[in-house]
Each structure stands twice: as structure tokens, then as C-alpha cells.
Amino acid sequence: MTQCLAAFEAARSLGASPSRVLREVYVPMLKPGLLTALIIVFVDVMKEMPATLLIRPFGWDTLAVRVFQMTNEGQWERAALPALTLLLVGLVPVILLVKNARFMPRGC
């Protein structure tokens, strides 16, 4: 934590404006955490079912709703492809996140 504080103080003492400190010091340090949060929210929204069923407009279905409707009607074969698509769309970002977690800096 002291290294982070030192970087911010050093940038300010060298005459950088607050907006430049934000752009060149804060944002690069926050980028891995923001990217991780974005991926987690994306995956969670993709698989969200109860809220989607309650607040969706009439005649508009998400992938999760289509899978639910097809399996509810016993159309397992027709539901397989949308279910696999939903699985891959949610799984690929998580795999990329885990692979890139090794390369993210562990600093501040």
C-alpha cells in the first residue's frame, strides 16, 4: 500500500495534474480489478433467470428463458443447443480470466 501511495505522491510532486494522475496512475492500477468485475457481472447476468422471467417485455426472450421454456415443455433436444451456447458464453470469459490471473500484477 505504501508503494501505491508513493506513486500517487510522486506523480503529484512532479507536477502532474489530478486528471493526469488519474489517467496515468490510478486507471492502470485499477484496470485488472475493473476487468475482473466486468467479467464476473457479465457471466452472472448471462445466467440470471428469475429476474429475467419477472421483468422481461412480452414477446422478448433471452437465451436462458428459451432454454427454460423448451425444457419445461419436454423439448430436450431443441433446448440442447441454446443451453450449450449459454454455457460457452458464460464459460469462455471465466477461462480467460483464470488464465490471465497469473499475469496480473500483484502490487497495490
Element of type H or E holding 73: none
Q: Distance (Å, rounded) from C-alpha 90 to C-alpha 30?
A: 23
pLDDT of 82 above 80: yes
| Per-residue model confidence (pLDDT) at position 67 | 87
Q: How far is CA 31 from CA 54, 83, 102, in A?
A: 34, 32, 15
95's grid cell: 477461462
Closest CA to 26 of 5, 47, 49: 5
Closest CA to 21 of 3, 33, 31, 9: 9
Is residue 106 domain-resident? no
Is residue 46 domain-resident? yes
| Per-residue model confidence (pLDDT) at position 81 | 92
Is residue 97 domain-resident? yes
| Per-residue model confidence (pLDDT) at position 21 | 84
Name the region of 61 (left: φ>0; alpha: ψ -120 to 50; beta: rest).
beta
Is residue 108 domain-resident? no
What domain range includes position 62?
2-101
26's grid cell: 490510478
Look at the chain and report how many structural domains it folds into.
Answer: 1
Is residue 32 domain-resident? yes
Average pLDDT score over residue span 71-92? 89
- Predicted structure pTM score: 0.59
Is residue 76 domain-resident? yes
